[in-house]
Amino acid sequence: MHKASIVFRRELKSYFNVPIAWLFIVIFNLAISIFFFFVQQFFALDRADLRPYFSLLPLFFTILVPALTMKMWAEEKKQGTYEMLMTMPFSEFDLVIGKFLAAFVLLLIAIASTVFIPITMFLFGYFDPGQIFAQYIGIFLFAAACSAIGQYVSANTKSQISAFVVTMILLIILNIFSQIPLWFNMTGKIADVINWLSVNYHYNSFAKGVLDSRDALYFLIITTGFLYATMQKLYLGRWR
Amino acid sequence: MDRLIKEKQLMFLIFGGLFLLALLSNLYFFRIDFTVSHSNTLSKVARDFYKELPDTVRITYFISPSLKAKHPGPQMIEDFLLELQAVSRGKIIVSISNPEKDTYRAESLGIKPQQMQVVEKSEQRIALVYSGIAVEYLDRSFALPVVITTDTLEYELLKGIRALVNQKENIAGILIGDGDKIFDQDYRYLKSYLEKGGYTVQEIERGKRIETNVAVLFVIGNSALTRYDAYFIDQYIMHGGRVFFAVKGVNINPNYNLIAQPVMESGIIDLLASYGIFIKRELVLDVSNLTVPFQQPTYSGMFTIQYVPYPHWIVIDKKYVNSNHILTARFNGMDLYWPSPIEYNDNKAFVIQSLIKTTPKAWKQTKAFYTSPNDSRSYTLERTDTEGSYVLGVAGEGILKTAFADPGNLPQPESGQEEPVVSEIKESKTRLVVITGSDSFSDLVEMMQSDVNLNFAVSIADWLVQSDDLLSIRTRSYKPERLDKIKDADVRTTVIILVYILTIGIIPLGFVITGLLLFNKRKKKEQLARLA
Chain centre to alpha carbon of residue A21: 15
Q: Is the pLDDT of residue A63 over 70?
A: yes
pLDDT score at B86:
82
Residue in chain A lying closest to B332 (CA)? A126
Which of the 8 DSSP states describes residue B321?
Answer: B
Classify residue B524: in a domain, yes or no.
Answer: no
User: A213 and B496: CB-CB below 8 Å?
Assistant: no
Chain centre to alpha carbon of residue A179: 20
Q: Is the dihedral of CA B45, B47, B51, B55 positive or negative?
A: positive
Q: How far is Cα B449 from Cα A61, in angstroms, rounded to an integer?
A: 34
Contacts 24+ apart (CB under 8 A), B11-17: B11/A228, B11/A232, B14/A228, B15/A225, B15/A228
If asked whether residues B235 and B209 sit together in one domain, one would say: yes
Residue in chain A lying closest to B67 (CA)? A187
pLDDT score at B177:
94
With cut-offs at 50, 70 and 90, classify the pLDDT of residue B277.
very high
pLDDT score at B350:
93
Q: Which of B293, B298, B291 is nearest to B486 (CA)?
A: B291
Q: Is the pLDDT of residue B244 over 70?
A: yes
Residue type, B444: L
Residue B17 touches partner A, C-beta closer than 8 Å: no
Those residues with Cβ within 8 angstroms of residue B371's Cβ, 6 or more apart along the chain or in another chain: B252, B258, B259, B260, B283, B312, B338
pLDDT cut 90: percent of chain B above it: 44
User: B519 and A19: CB-CB below 8 Å?
Assistant: yes
Q: Is the pLDDT of residue B121 over 70?
A: no
User: B511 and A25: CB-CB below 8 Å?
Assistant: yes
Residue B413 near residue B231 (C-beta atoms within 8 A): no
With cut-offs at 50, 70 and 90, classify the pLDDT of residue A86.
confident
Q: How far is Cα A29 from Cα A47, in angstroms, rounded to an integer?
A: 22
Residue B361 near residue B387 (C-beta atoms within 8 A): yes
A54-76 average pLDDT score? 87
> Which B residues in the span 431-490 are in contact with A, Cβ-Cβ below 8 Å?
478, 480-486
pLDDT score at B214:
94
Classify residue B123: in a domain, yes or no.
Answer: yes
> In terms of residue numbers, what domain contains B21?
1-30
> Which B residues in the span 293-352 are in contact with A, Cβ-Cβ below 8 Å?
318
If asked whether residues B457 and B504 sit together in one domain, one would say: no
Q: How far is Cα B361 from Cα B176, in angstroms, rounded to an integer?
A: 32
Residue A180 near residue A194 (C-beta atoms within 8 A): yes
Q: How far is Cα B209 from Cα B395, in angstroms, rounded to an integer?
A: 24
Distance from CA of A25 to the nearest CA of B (A): 7
If asked whether residues B188 and B136 sit together in one domain, one would say: no
With cut-offs at 50, 70 and 90, classify the pLDDT of residue A21.
confident
User: B478 and A26: CB-CB below 8 Å?
Assistant: no
If asked whether residues B229 and B323 sit together in one domain, one would say: yes
Residue type, A153: V
If asked whether residues B98 and B108 sit together in one domain, one would say: yes
Classify residue B455: in a domain, yes or no.
Answer: yes
Those residues with Cβ within 8 angstroms of residue B276's Cβ, 6 or more apart along the chain or in another chain: B344, B345, B347, B350, B352, B396
Residue type, B362: A
Q: Is the pLDDT of residue A186 over 70?
A: no
Query: Which comes out higher in pLDDT, residue B66 or B19?
Result: B19
In three state form, how does the secondary structure of B274-299 look? HCCEEECCCEEECCCEEEEEEEEECC
Classify residue B85: in a domain, yes or no.
Answer: yes
Question: Which burial class, exposed, middle or buried, applies to B446 when counting CB atoms under 10 A from its CB (0-12, 13-18, 19+)?
Answer: exposed
All residues of chain A having their beta carbon less than 8 Å from the beta carbon of residue B14 are: 228
Residue in chain B lying closest to A177 (CA)? B70
Query: Which comes out higher in pLDDT, residue B398 or B532?
Result: B398
B101-105 average pLDDT score? 87
Q: How many domains does chain A have?
A: 1
If asked whether residues B491 and B471 sit together in one domain, one would say: no
Q: Is the pLDDT of residue B362 over 80?
A: yes
> Which A residues in the span 160-219 are in contact with B, Cβ-Cβ below 8 Å?
178, 181-188, 191-192, 195-196, 201, 204-205, 208-214, 217-218
CATH number of the domain residue B55 falls in: 3.40.30.10
DSSP B171-194: EEEEEE--TT--HHHH-HHHHHHH
* B178-194 tens-digit pLDDT: 998 999 999 999 999 99
* B63-95 tens-digit pLDDT: 988 787 777 788 888 888 988 888 888 889 898
User: A34 and B511: CB-CB below 8 Å?
Assistant: no
All residues of chain B having their beta carbon less than 8 Å from the beta carbon of residue A201 are: 72
> Which B residues in the span 74-93 are in contact with A, Cβ-Cβ below 8 Å?
76
Distance from CA of B368 to the nearest CA of A (A): 34
All residues of chain A having their beta carbon less than 8 Å from the beta carbon of residue B127 are: 185
Classify residue B526: in a domain, yes or no.
Answer: no
Q: How many domains does chain B have?
A: 4
pLDDT cut 70: percent of chain A above it: 96
DSSP B333-389: -EEEES---EEE---SSEEEEEEEE--TTBEEE-SS---SGGGGGGTTTTHHHH-B-
Residue B15 touches partner A, C-beta closer than 8 Å: yes
Chain centre to alpha carbon of residue A135: 14
With cut-offs at 50, 70 and 90, classify the pLDDT of residue A187.
low
Distance from CA of A199 to the nearest CA of B (A): 12
If asked whether residues B109 and B238 sit together in one domain, one would say: no
Q: Which of B338, B321, B317 is nearest to B487 (CA)?
A: B317
pLDDT score at B167:
83
Q: Is the dihedral of CA A157, A158, A160, A161 positive or negative?
A: negative
> In terms of residue numbers, what domain contains A232?
2-239
User: A43 and B483: CB-CB below 8 Å?
Assistant: yes
Residue B85 near residue B57 (C-beta atoms within 8 A): no
> Which A residues in the span 53-112 are in contact with B, Cβ-Cβ below 8 Å?
none
* B305-355 tens-digit pLDDT: 888 889 999 999 888 999 888 888 878 789 999 999 999 997 889 999 999
What average pLDDT does chain A have? Answer: 87
* B484-501 tens-digit pLDDT: 788 777 888 899 999 999
pLDDT score at B118:
62
Residue type, B291: T
With cut-offs at 50, 70 and 90, classify the pLDDT of residue A200.
confident
Query: Which comes out higher in pLDDT, residue A104 or B6?
Result: A104
With cut-offs at 50, 70 and 90, classify the pLDDT of residue B166.
confident
pLDDT score at B330:
77
Classify residue B463: in a domain, yes or no.
Answer: yes
Residue A115 touches partner B, C-beta closer than 8 Å: no
For residue B372, count other CB atoms closer than 10 A to its CB: 16
Q: Which of A113, A131, A195 comes nearest B35 by C-beta?
A: A131
All residues of chain B having their beta carbon less than 8 Å from the beta carbon of residue A180 are: none
Which of the 8 DSSP states describes residue A158?
Answer: S
List the B140-144 sheet strands across, edge first: B92-97, B57-63, B131-137, B140-144
If asked whether residues B14 and B143 sit together in one domain, one would say: no
Classify residue B528: in a domain, yes or no.
Answer: no
Mutate to test the interface with B, among A32, A212, A238 (most CBs of B within 10 A): A212
For residue B351, count other CB atoms closer than 10 A to its CB: 12
Q: Which of B363, B346, B353 is nearest to B322 (CA)?
A: B353
Q: Is the pLDDT of residue A153 over 90?
A: yes
A45-53 average pLDDT score? 85
If asked whether residues B26 and B41 sit together in one domain, one would say: no
If asked whether residues B158 and B173 sit together in one domain, one would say: no
Phi first, then psi: give them for residue A34, nearest 5 degrees. -65, -45
Q: How far is Cα A107 from Cα A147, in angstroms, rounded to an integer?
A: 9
B28-34 average pLDDT score? 86
Those residues with Cβ within 8 angstroms of residue A91's Cβ, 6 or more apart along the chain or in another chain: A3
Query: Which comes out higher in pLDDT, residue A217 or B414?
Result: A217
Q: How far is Cα A97 from Cα A226, in angstroms, rounded to an integer?
A: 11
Q: Is the pLDDT of residue A188 over 80?
A: no
If asked whether residues B176 and B152 sit together in one domain, one would say: no
ipTM score: 0.87
* B431-474 tens-digit pLDDT: 999 999 999 999 999 888 888 899 899 999 999 987 777 777 77
What average pLDDT does chain B have? Answer: 88
If asked whether residues B269 and B217 sit together in one domain, one would say: yes
User: A217 and B507: CB-CB below 8 Å?
Assistant: no
Residue A185 near residue A179 (C-beta atoms within 8 A): no
User: B31 and A113: CB-CB below 8 Å?
Assistant: no
Question: Which burial class, exposed, middle or buried, applies to A2 when counting CB atoms under 10 A from its CB (0-12, 13-18, 19+)?
Answer: exposed
Contacts 24+ apart (CB under 8 A), A108-115: A108/A140, A108/A143, A109/A21, A109/A25, A110/A24, A110/A25, A110/A28, A110/A29, A110/A64, A111/A57, A111/A136, A111/A139, A111/A140, A111/A143, A113/A25, A113/A28, A113/A29, A113/B507, A113/B511, A114/A28, A114/A29, A114/A32, A114/A33, A114/B503
Residue A62 near residue A201 (C-beta atoms within 8 A): no
Distance from CA of A66 to the nearest CA of B (A): 21
With cut-offs at 50, 70 and 90, classify the pLDDT of residue B477.
low
User: A214 and B26: CB-CB below 8 Å?
Assistant: yes
Classify residue B102: in a domain, yes or no.
Answer: yes
> Which A residues in the span 17-56 are in contact with B, Cβ-Cβ below 8 Å?
17, 19, 21-22, 25-26, 29-30, 33-34, 37, 43, 46-49
Q: How far is Cα B399 from Cα B238, in angstroms, rounded to an integer?
A: 10
